[in-house]
Structure 1
Amino acid sequence: MRVTQPTRRAFLGGLLTTPLLAACAGFDTSGAASPGTVGFLSTQFAPVEERQRYEQVLSRLPVPVAYNPVDAGVFRTTIDSQTAAGQVQVGMVGGLHGDLAPIAEHLADVESLLADLAPAGFAPELVQLARFGGGAAKYVPWMQATYVLAVHQRALEWLPPGVDPEALDYDGFLRWMQAGAAGNGAPIFGLPAGPRGLHHRFHQGYLLPSFTGGQITAFTSADAVGAWEYLRELWQVTAPASTNYAFMQEPLARGEVLVAWDHVARLIGAVGDRPADWLMVPAPRGPKGLGYMLIVAGVGLPVGGPEREKAEIAVRGMASAPMQIETLRNNAFFPVTSIELPADLPAGVALEARAVKAQNSADDAVLALPPVGVGAHDGQVSQVFKDCFTQICLDGRPARQVVDAQARVLSGLLAELNVPCWAPDPPNAVCEVG
C-alpha cells in the first residue's frame, strides 16, 4: 500500500470486573466529578441517545466514570483555563486526534500505559499519531471511524459492464451513477450536502487525496482542479435534495436515493432489519490511490488531574476487547486494537466492518485526517472546501477561478493558525497552501 505521513492502517485482554453504574451526580460544566469518580470530558457522543448508550458502555468499567460531552471549543477552553489556574478538575479527556493536538502540552506522558497495553494490539500507526510527530505519546487510542458507501441492491441493476462495486474507481462510479439516473428517471446517488452534513470531509479526505495525493499542499494543482471538475460532473447525477441532507441513512431508508457516501455512524440506520438489501463498500479510488479519512479518537490524562489511579484503570478497561466491541455495537465506532470481531454483530455493523477493513487495507490507500491543530477554527478551514463545492458544483463557476480564490482564503487562515500540515500532506513545520 502507498503510505503517506503518518502511515495508515489501524483496523479493526479483558479488564472488566463487576459492572458499576456511571456516577453522574455532582458533574458540572467544568468537567469536575464527585470524589471517587473519574470526570471524563469528551468531544464525542454529544447527541442524547449516543451519550446514553455510551454511558451504559462505561458502566461496565470497574471504576465509576462521569461522562460529559462538550463541543470542541468548550473542551479546549476548559483544559486551558484549568491548567493555567493550577486547578485541574478533569480526570481524563477524550476527543478526536485534532481535538487533542491543541492541548497536548497539558496531557501527561502515557508511554508506560501504552507499553502495559501492548498486548491489546494497537496498530503502530495509531501510536505514532498519539506522539504528535515526536516525543512521548499523549493519549491512548480509544476508537476509530471512517466513511464508506452504502448501496441498495436495486442500484446494481444499472451497474455498467466491468465496474465492480467492491473495487470502484471514480470514472466507473460516475458511469454507474449516470446509468442509474438515466434508468431510474432520477438520480440514485446522494451526498450529505445539507447545512449539518459532512460533505466537506468527502472533499478533504476522499476526493482531493484520491486525485492529488494531498489535501492542502496540492490545493491549487491541476490535479485538484480536475478533481473539482469531476465532482461537478458527478453532481449532475446527484439528487438535488442532497443540499438538505444531514444523515444519509434517512434518505436511504426512505428510498429517495439508492447509493450514498457518509460517516459509518450516519449510514447504519438505513440497513434496519433488511441487511440482505444492502451492500457497504469502500470509497472509489482515483489517479493517486484510494483516498480515505480516518477518524481517530484518543483518551488522555491531564497533568495534575484528580483520581489518576482510577483514570488509568478506566483507560485500561476502555482498551479491553469487551469494551471495544460494545462501543462498536452501541455507537458504530470501530476498535483500535487487533481483536477479532464477533460473528453476532448487528447486521449493519457487520456490513460496515467488512467495508472498513477493505478500505483501510487497500494496497493503494491514502490516509487523510481531518484538520489537525486548528481547534475551533475547523469550521473556517472546512468552509473553504464547502465554498469550493457550492461555487463550482451549484453555481457553475470555473473551477480554476474558484480554487485560486479560495486558496487565498485558506492561506490566510493557515498563516494565522501557524500549524503543521496533517496527513496526507507531509508534516511541514508550517502548513502552506500549494
Structure 2
Amino acid sequence: MKLLKIFGLVFLLTVVGALLTFSEGQKIVFYSTQLRPIEEAEWVRGTLLPPFTEETGIEVEFIPDEYSPWADRLIAEYKAWKADPAKCGVDLAGGLHGDFMGVLETPEKELRFVDLSAKLAELSADRTFIESFVELGKMAGIQAYIPWMQATYLTVINKKAMDYLPYDVNIESLSYDDLLKWAKSIYDATGEKKLGIPAGPKSLLHRFVHGYLYPSFTCSTVKKFMKKPEVLYLWGYAKTLWQYVHPEAAKWDAMAEPLLEEAVWIAWDHTARVWKAIEARPEDFIAVPSPADCCGRGFISVLAGLGIPKAACDPDSANKLIEYLTKPEVQVVTLEGVAFFPIVEEAAGKVPAGPAKVLAEGVTKQAAAPDAIVAMIPGGLGARAGEFSKIYRDTFTEIVIKGRNIEEVLEEQGKLLAELYRDTGAPCPLPDDPTEAPCIPEGF
C-alpha cells in the first residue's frame, strides 16, 4: 500500500512537472512579410523579442517570408483547420494592409482571421492608436488586424524658412495654398527658389502625385484621374507651384543632400530619403504633415498590421505578443532598430531627442491629423506595377515640367491607366473603394 502511494506521488509529480515544462516552454510562431532582410530579422530575434520571452515565458519563432508563400501557408493552414480543428498553424501574422486583404476571406466569404475588436478596445485603455489606421484594419465587418508600424513620406523644413512664413500660415496644418504662398514669400524676399520636390529618374515623384496631390484635390487616386474641374485645378496649381521649385529638382532623386546643402529649405520626400540630413543636423529641421486641400490631407501610409489566424495554435499568447509589440516604449525600440514609425500617439513623446524624434513627431502628427486621407500603394498589379508609377510620373513631367496641354496629357495617360487595370483586374487602391475591381478611371 505504501509502495502504491509512493508510486502515485511520483506519477503525480511527473505529470505536474511535464505540465510545468510545457508551460515554461511555450512557443508561438510569428509569421511576417515585414522585416525580411537578414539584418532586420536577426534584430527581431536578438533584440525585439527576448524581453517579451523574459516577461512572459513565451518563446517566439519569428519567420519572415515573401507575400506569396505567406499567403499560401495561411490559406493552407485554414483549410486544414477547417477540415480538422485539431490541426493548427501560425499564431500571429504580420503583414501590410494589402497582404491581409488578399487572404482575409475565402471564396465562400468565410473569414480566415479572428475579430480583434475586443483586444483593440482592451489595448486602447492605455495607448492611443492612430484612428485612421484602426479604420483601415476593419475589413469584412471585423477588426482583421491591429496596427503595428508604418513608413511614409512627409514635409521637412529648414528653420531658416520660418523667417519668411506668411503670418496666417500654421506649419502644423499646411494647405497647398499655404505652401505656395510660403514658397513665393521666400522667392520674393531672397530671389531664390527654395522648395524641393524630387523629380529625378529614380525619385519617388509618382508617389507625390498619386498619394498626395490626387487624394488631397480629388478625394481619389485612380477613379477621378481625369475628373473635371478638380483635376484641371490640381494640375493648374502644380504648374504654378513649380515656378518656385528649385531649378535642379528635375535631376534630384532624393532630398537629403539638397536639404543639407541648403539648396532648398522646404522639401517633400520619403522619410528614408531625408534621414541623412536630419541625422546630421537634427536641430536645424522640423518635420511636419504634408499639405491639405479641399478633400483633406492626402498621404501614403505603408502600414503593417498584426492579425491572428483562426487556425492559430495559441491565440492567447499571440494576443500577448500584440500587446507587447504595440506598447509605446516598444514602438520606440522598433523605430530605433529598423526605422519603422509608431502607430500609437504616445510613442512620439518617448523618443529620445535627436533625428528620430524630429521625424517621429512629424509622422505621428500627419497620421493623426483630423483631415487625414490615407492613400495606399496599389496592389494586384503584379509585374506591371511599374506601369502604374510611370503613368503618374509621366503625367507630371509632361504637364508641369514640359508644359504640355493638361487635357491632352490626361487623355493619353488615362487610357493607359484604364488599360492597365482592365488587363490586370486589380482593385482600387485607397482612398478609392478597394472592393471595386477592376479599378477603371471614370470616363474610360
Q: TM-score, normalised by structure 1?
A: 0.76
Partner residue, 1:413: 420
Q: Secondary structure at the match of 2:199?
A: coil
Partner residue, 1:391: 398
Partner residue, 2:331: 324
Partner residue, 1:105: 105
Q: Where does structure 1 lack aligned partners over 5 or more consecutive residues? A: 1-34
Assess, with a 3 A threshold, how the Cα gap between structure 1 residues 327 and 196 changes in structure 2: closer, same or farther.
farther
1:165 to 2:156 alignment: no
Assess, with a 3 A threshold, how the Cα gap between structure 1 residues 354 and 338 changes in structure 2: closer, same or farther.
closer
Q: How many Å separate the matches in 2 of 1:237 and 1:51?
A: 43
Q: How many Å separate the matches in 1 of 2:70 and 2:365?
A: 39
Partner residue, 1:432: 440
Q: How many Å separate the matches in 2 of 1:415 and 1:381?
A: 13
1:230-266 Cα distance to aligned partner (Å, 9 max, x none): 2233234323443454443343223332221123343
Partner residue, 1:17: none
Q: CA RMSD in A?
A: 3.6
1:232 to 2:239 alignment: yes
Q: Compute the displacement of 1:142 (Å).
A: 0.7
Higher Rg of the two aligned structures:
2
1:142-184 Cα distance to aligned partner (Å, 9 max, x none): 1234332111122234445544434432233224324435655
Q: Compute the displacement of 1:374 (Å).
A: 4.7
1:79 is aligned, of 71, 76, 99, to: 71
Q: TM-score, normalised by structure 2?
A: 0.74
Mapped contact 1:101–1:373 kept (Cα < 8 A): no
Structure 1 window deviating more from structure 2 (400-409 vs 105-114): it is 105-114
1:300 is aligned, of 288, 299, 307, to: 307
Structure 1 window deviating more from structure 2 (401-410 vs 88-97): it is 88-97
2:186 is aligned, of 162, 180, 184, to: 180
Q: Secondary structure at the match of 1:105?
A: coil
Partner residue, 1:28: none
Q: How many Å separate the matches in 2 of 1:167 and 1:318?
A: 30
1:188-209 Cα distance to aligned partner (Å, 9 max, x none): 2222334443322221222112
Q: How many Å separate the matches in 2 of 1:121 and 1:393?
A: 41
Q: Secondary structure at the match of 2:331?
A: helix
Assess, with a 3 A threshold, how the Cα gap between structure 1 residues 45 and 182 changes in structure 2: closer, same or farther.
farther
Q: Compute the displacement of 1:212 (Å).
A: 1.6
Q: How many Å separate the matches in 2 of 1:243 and 1:76?
A: 36
Mapped contact 1:239–1:257 kept (Cα < 8 A): yes
Assess, with a 3 A threshold, how the Cα gap between structure 1 residues 407 and 270 changes in structure 2: closer, same or farther.
same
Q: Secondary structure at the match of 1:142?
A: strand
Partner residue, 1:27: none
Mapped contact 1:104–1:138 kept (Cα < 8 A): yes
Q: How many Å separate the matches in 2 of 1:325 and 1:378?
A: 32
Q: Compute the displacement of 1:131 (Å).
A: 3.1
Mapped contact 1:367–1:424 kept (Cα < 8 A): yes
1:380 to 2:387 alignment: yes
Q: Where does structure 2 lack aligned partners over 5 or more consecutive residues? A: 1-25, 81-87, 107-111
Assess, with a 3 A threshold, how the Cα gap between structure 1 residues 43 and 235 changes in structure 2: closer, same or farther.
farther
Counting only pairs closer than 5 Å after superposition, residues 193-204 of structure 1 correspond to structure 2 as 193-204=199-210
Q: How many Å separate the matches in 2 of 1:375 and 1:114?
A: 33
Counting only pairs closer than 5 Å after superposition, residues 189-268 of structure 1 correspond to structure 2 as 189-221=195-227, 222-268=229-275
Q: Secondary structure at the match of 2:143?
A: coil
Mapped contact 2:196–2:268 kept (Cα < 8 A): yes
Q: Secondary structure at the match of 1:267?
A: helix
Q: How many Å separate the matches in 2 of 1:363 and 1:294?
A: 15
Mapped contact 2:301–2:376 kept (Cα < 8 A): yes
Structure with greater proportional helix content: 2
1:282-324 Cα distance to aligned partner (Å, 9 max, x none): 2222233332333321123456567766655433321233322
Q: Whose RCO is larger (CA < 8 A, sep 6+)?
A: 1
Q: Secondary structure at the match of 1:218?
A: coil
State, as a whole percentage, how many aligned pairs show the same letter.
32
Partner residue, 1:423: 430
Structure 1 window deviating more from structure 2 (232-241 vs 76-85): it is 76-85
Q: How many Å separate the matches in 1 of 2:311 and 2:373?
A: 38
Assess, with a 3 A threshold, how the Cα gap between structure 1 residues 353 and 159 changes in structure 2: closer, same or farther.
same
